[in-house]
Amino acid sequence: PYEEVAYDLYRKADGGTIYGIGRMGDLPKPISWPALQKVVIHNIAPACATVKPSRSAIKRVAVFAGSGKSGVVPAALQGADVLVTGELDHHARLEAEWRGLGVIEVGHAESEKLILPILEKMIYRMIPSINLFLL
């Protein structure tokens, strides 16, 4: 009948690969919690909130632009010592603390500004004639 919704299903060309929106990496050598905070403050923005990690030496750091709520558990499960993100709500902060994951919140907009120049270059490569401007 005409009231029934029609569905078209297509197999994804890449086989269903999942690409996360956060990133994680290991530092060349472990650093202290205060040293990492200084690096973040100097290079991104003054931290607006933090959760102290359970480990004193920081080796693995995860980054998640914007709201990092959905990045807390994956970062902790993959062995991150600290998550640098834009913002977390109260319950996500408690989850991070419970898991021993340190958190540095730099502000939602501040965490996203870092990606804008990269996205701009990608767009210009794909569409050279486009005229981009600041909002």
Give the pLDDT confidence of 18-37 residue by residue, as tens digits. 667 889 999 999 999 999 99
* pLDDT tens-place string over residues 68-124: 999 999 999 999 999 999 999 999 999 999 999 999 999 988 888 888 888 899 899
* pLDDT of amino acid 11: 77
pTM above 0.85, yes or no: no
What count of other Cβ atoms lies within 10 Å of the Cβ of residue 30? 15
Q: Among the residues of 24-107, which ranges form H helices? A: 33-43, 72-77, 90-99
* pLDDT of amino acid 1: 58
Q: Which residues contact 25 (CB under 8 A, 6 or more apart)?
A: 60, 61
* Residue (of 22, 83, 73, 77) closest to 47 by Cα position: 83
- List, in sequence order, every beta strand (DSSP E) within 3-101: 23-32, 49-51, 57-67, 82-87
* pLDDT of amino acid 40: 92
When comparing pLDDT for 18 and 5, which is higher? 5
